[in-house]
Amino acid sequence: VMLKLTLPSTANFYAELIRHPSVLRVVALSGGYSRDDANKKLSENHGMIASFSRALTEGLSAKQSDADFDTMLDATIAGIYAASIT
């Protein structure tokens, strides 16, 4: 089973689910939080990985140069990844 859940406000709230032998992954939705807040909450919930769509695109714009867009996207992905590996 794979569960896609909103980030909890309590650290490690889903720990029991994450440890359950029938659960393959617990995936976190950014839930309307800013990217920074979502990353912080994700890093406080060990064993969850990110499924951030809105938070991923935060700060990206079609008006950016390709280089600026790529730089922002790379930094965003690195931050989300770092929060996911806690």
Q: Structurally, how many domains does the chain consist of?
A: 1
Its domain, for residue 7, covers 2-84
pLDDT at 86: 78
pLDDT by residue, tens only, the chain of 86 residues: 999 999 999 999 999 999 999 999 999 999 889 999 999 999 999 999 999 988 889 999 999 999 999 999 999 999 999 999 97
What is the residue type of 37?
Answer: D
* Type and span of the H or E element at 16: helix 15-19
Q: How far is CA 45 from the centre of its chain?
A: 10
The owner of tokens 């979502």 is 38
12 close to 41: Cβ distance less than 8 angstroms? no
Residue 16: per-residue pLDDT: 97
pTM (2 d.p.):
0.84
